[in-house]
Structure formats: structure tokens, C-alpha cells
Amino acid sequence: MEKFWYWLIFGMILLISEFFIPGFVIFFFGVAACLVSVVTYCAPELGIAWEILIFAVSSVLLLVLSRRYFPGVFKGRNVICEVDPDLDDVSGQFATAITEINSDREGKVEFRGSLWNAVSGESIATGERVRIISRKNITLIVEKNR
């Protein structure tokens, strides 16, 4: 078997393995190996030292250039959750009971478009408007709106 086949098979194995190994780096080694396969097909008299050098240089160049011109591929998307400074003082504001709430069962309320856990010392029916007394972590302490 001619040596360009070895580089081509090696390149294909690397390209396929990219589907199973995260990181999107092995892909460039696979492309470089396929490139060396083309070079050795066109110039079969090249020695193994030159082939390895071409493989190493092209791998690094492909990786560096792609990171420069396609940075979005290599950077994850960071979602920054901004905390509403007004959430520290929610007492006196109003919400709507989404589930039944009573003294022995926590329920859910809708407040500012989000669902919150809620507790109360009195029974509150689903759909009732409630007043927020305070907030403890992610749970609102509520009472019936009087």
C-alpha cells in the first residue's frame, strides 16, 4: 500500500473521532493528515521526516488560524444572569397564587413574570391575589390581599 493511503486513513480516523471526543481540536489534526496525504500522493519521494514536519506545521497553522478567524466556535456562550436590585425588598408587592397555598403546604405564585415558591400562614386559593410580606432565599412569604 502506498504511504499516502496511511495518511488518508489516519486523517479520516481523526476526523471521525472528533464526533466522539469533545473539544474541536482533533479535527485540525485530521485535516492536516489528509493534507499530508495529498502532498505525499503528489510527491511520493518525500521522506517521513518531511511528512511529519508538514503534518505538525499544518496542524498548528490550521488550529491557530481557525481560532483567530472563527473565535465563536471555540468560546462557549456565557449567560450572565443579572439580579434585579429591587428583589431584596419585595415586601408590600403583589403576586398571583398559581397553586393552592396553606399553612402545611408550600405553593407557587407568579411574581414579575416568574414562578416563585410561596408559603403562608393562611389558606390561599389558586388564582387569588396575594401580598408579599417578605422573601427568604427563593421562597416568598405571602398573605391574602386585604
Place 105 in a pLDDT band, splitting at 50, 70 and 90.
Answer: confident
For residue range 73-84, list pLDDT tens digits in order. Answer: 555 554 444 445
CATH classification at residue 119: 2.40.50.140
Domain-embedded: residue 98: yes
* Residue 66 predicted with pLDDT over 90: no
DSSP annotation string for 40-108? HHH-TT--HHHHHHHHHHHHHHHHHHHHHH-HHHHSPPP---PPPGGGG--TT-EEEESS-BBTTB-EE
The answer to whether 32 and 59 are in contact (CB under 8 A) is yes
Question: String of b and e for 68-77 (b: at least 16 CB within 10 Å)?
Answer: eeeeeeeeee
Q: Higher confidence at residue 140 or residue 84?
A: 140
Domain-embedded: residue 80: no
State whether 135 and 96 are in the same domain: yes
Of 74, 108, 127, the residue that ends a domain is: 74
Q: Is the pTM of this model over 0.75?
A: no
State whether 103 and 122 are in the same domain: yes
- Domain of 100, in residue numbers: 85-144
State whether 8 and 35 are in the same domain: yes
Domain-embedded: residue 79: no
* Residue 86 predicted with pLDDT over 80: no
**Cβ neighbours of 112 (radius 10 Å):** 11
